[in-house]
Amino acid sequence: DAKTTQPPSMDCAEGRAANLPCNHSTISGNEYVYWYRQIHSQGPQYIIHGLKNNETNEMASLIITEDRKSSTLILPHATLRDTAVYYCIVGGTSYGKLTFGQGTILTVHP
């Protein structure tokens, strides 16, 4: 699976957009980009995934660069409940094994 690089921590003001970057320069053509988050003392929670095109759901938007070497997760209006560790994951086996890195600790401030 391709390796991902994320900043260890980020801050965001409540109500503002949170933009979380991820580098995955060794991604191969058939590998997906997944984002999960983990709120303290809970299991990880799926947010969104994409292959080539930008994706949007009720939680977030995923912007993937044309060369697919990086992506950005956007939380459009961050709330205090969005404070969590955000994991960018690339690849996965045919059945979907996830290889987590260290993730980005996002802290949303009042």
Q: Is 99 in the site for other proteins (CB under 8 A)?
A: yes
Q: And the tokens for 32?
A: 């997906």
Give the distance from CA 23 to its chain's centroid. 10
Q: Is 87 in the site for other proteins (CB under 8 A)?
A: yes
Q: Is 7 in the site for other proteins (CB under 8 A)?
A: no
Asked if 22 and 6 count as a contact pair (C-beta separation under 8 A), the reply is yes
Q: Is 100 in the site for other proteins (CB under 8 A)?
A: yes
Neighbouring CB atoms inside 10 A of 12's CB total 19
Number of amino acids touching other proteins (CB under 8 A):
24
Grouping H, G, I as helix, E, B as strand and the rest as coil, residue 80 is: helix
Binding other proteins by CB under 8 A: which of 8, 53, 81, 95? 95
Residue type for position 7: P
Q: Is 107 in the site for other proteins (CB under 8 A)?
A: no
Residue 42 or 53 having the CB closest to other proteins: 42
